[in-house]
């Protein structure tokens, strides 16, 4: 079992590193690519990546505040799989 302080630190780092990707993701302009003939699929993919990054940031911050919820969520996932 990972100590609570370590879980907090890891989740905080995950949020920090994912947040650092935001400027990179914002710089990706698939709309410009589509104007030059690329598939519109790139626009949807870029939106999806930005949305998922935000989800990782928000979720990891919330779990860092209450790392005990992580084990509860993990137990629910195991119950569904079994």
CA distances from 2 to 14, 50, 67, 82 (A): 16, 30, 10, 23
The number of beta carbons lying within 10 Å of the beta carbon of residue 19 is 15
Please list the pLDDT of the chain residue by residue as tens digits (82 residues).
788 889 899 999 999 999 999 999 999 999 999 999 999 999 999 999 999 999 999 999 999 998 887 765 555 555 555 5
């Amino acid at each position: 079992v990972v100590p609570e302080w370590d879980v907090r630190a890891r989740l905080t780092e995950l949020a920090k590193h994912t947040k650092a990707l935001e400027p990179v993701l914002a710089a990706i302009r698939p709309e410009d690519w589509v104007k030059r003939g690329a598939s519109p699929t790139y626009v949807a993919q870029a939106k999806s990546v930005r949305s998922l990054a935000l989800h990782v940031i928000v979720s990891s911050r919330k779990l860092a505040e209450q790392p005990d919820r992580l084990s509860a969520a993990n137990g629910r996932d195991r119950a569904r799989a079994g």
